[in-house]
């Protein structure tokens, strides 16, 4: 997939519009429709998206995403898209009337043969642009428009908003049903205080990515991907109240049956199931006993 950060002339495409945070099961239908239309008609496919969500610019919100920009682009690529236009959302975009955005940005640059969006995609000042506007302008600009209807799982609408809610609740099973994969974070291993070593449970410490929606504090059954290999793990998300008065949110990963130096490595932590809430213990020995129990629970999970 070729990635562009600015507009250019790239005509006769099958394009889709959206932010695609998480690239969930609903997004995949939009992306696959775009790719299928391109293949069936001998064209190339493209996504038109933004680096940051428009609401971060329009409402000065702090980003809280399901996945990072880098991961979002990788997930889009897995759906077979040929081009990704990943644009800055700023005044040059925000001030467009919907009809002008369609004409001056989409038609002028891409002369699209097909446009696909989800049912709830909006664009232009005051969200004037929607599926109806795109449908009504098909003959004017010689494209065919496809609106993907709501996609549901067990009567629940699959949406990035709902998934972010589930992440905030720690509802890992339902997250996977809507995303199509387990929730994960990626971050480099940083040097900690090595307290885990003193109780025979060394951990890999990660700063929880600031732009990713936070899981509730607690202990989770997890997997860690390191250099392309998957290792079973127990992950603690929290502030380590037993050993620290600091309030920095960390992900502490205890890798089962693993004892290698991985400082500085960027690792992927995949969360599978919550074991318990984070707790302040009265002593390190009490903490050690609980970690032994947590590790036992994780081993049983993976063995089953």
Per-residue pLDDT reduced to its tens digit, 134-165: 999 999 999 999 999 999 999 999 999 999 99
Beta bridge partners of 17: 48
Q: With contact defined as beta carbons under 8 Å apart, do 256 and 292 qualify?
A: no
Q: Which residue in the block uniquely carries the two structure tokens 């993907």?
A: 148
Are the C-beta atoms of residues 130 and 118 closer than 8 Å to each other?
no
What does the pLDDT read at residue 198? 44
Residue 105: other Cβ atoms inside 10 A: 18
For 294, counting Cβ atoms within 10 Å of its Cβ (0-12 exposed, 13-18 middle, 19+ buried), the class is buried
pLDDT of residue 193: 58
- Taking the C-alpha atoms of residue 1 and residue 23, their distance in angstroms, rounded to an integer, is 16
Question: What is the distance between the alpha carbons of residues 64 and 79, in angstroms, rounded to a whole number?
Answer: 24
The pLDDT of residue 95? 92
Is pLDDT above 80 for 281? no
Q: Can you tell me the distance from the alpha carbon of 206 to that of 185, in angstroms, rounded to the nearest whole number?
A: 10
Task: Provide the pLDDT confidence category of residue 241 given band limits of 50, 70 and 90.
Answer: very low
pLDDT score of 243 more than 80: no
How many residues does the structure list for the chain?
304
CA pair distance 276, 32, nearest whole angstrom: 38
Helix (H) or strand (E) holding 187: strand 184-190
Q: CB–CB of 66/163 below 8 Å?
A: yes
Identify the residue with better confidence: 183 or 240: 183
Cα–Cα dist 277/272, whole Å: 15
């Amino acid at each position: 997939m070729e990635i562009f950060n600015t507009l250019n002339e790239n005509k006769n495409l099958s394009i889709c519009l959206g932010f695609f945070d998480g690239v969930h099961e609903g997004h995949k239908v939009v992306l696959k429709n775009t790719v299928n239309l391109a293949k069936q008609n001998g064209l190339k496919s493209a996504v038109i998206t933004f680096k940051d969500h428009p609401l971060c610019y329009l409402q000065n919100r702090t980003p809280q995403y399901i996945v990072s920009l880098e991961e979002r682009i990788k997930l889009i690529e897995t759906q077979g898209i040929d081009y990704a236009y990943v644009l800055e959302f700023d005044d040059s975009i925000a001030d467009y009337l919907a009809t002008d955005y369609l004409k001056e940005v989409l038609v002028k640059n891409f002369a699209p043969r097909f446009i696909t969006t989800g049912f709830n995609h909006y664009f232009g000042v005051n969200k004037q642009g929607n599926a109806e506007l795109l449908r009504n302008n098909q003959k004017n600009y010689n494209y065919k428009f496809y609106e993907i209807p709501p996609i549901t799982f067990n009567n629940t609408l699959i949406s990035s908003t709902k998934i972010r809610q589930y992440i905030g609740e720690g509802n890992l099973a339902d997250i996977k049903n809507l995303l199509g994969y387990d929730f994960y974070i990626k971050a480099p291993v940083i040097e900690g205080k090595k307290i885990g070593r003193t109780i025979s449970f060394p951990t890999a410490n990660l700063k929880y990515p600031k732009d990713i929606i936070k899981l509730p504090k607690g202990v989770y059954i997890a997997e860690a991907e390191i250099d392309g290999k998957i290792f079973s793990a127990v992950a603690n998300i929290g502030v380590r109240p037993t050993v620290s008065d600091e309030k920095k949110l960390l992900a502490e990963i205890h890798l089962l049956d693993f004892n290698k130096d991985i400082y500085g490595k960027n690792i992927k932590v995949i969360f599978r199931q919550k074991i318990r809430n984070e707790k302040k213990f009265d002593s390190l020995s009490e903490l050690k006993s609980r970690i032994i129990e947590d590790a036992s629970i994780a081993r049983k999970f993976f063995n089953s």
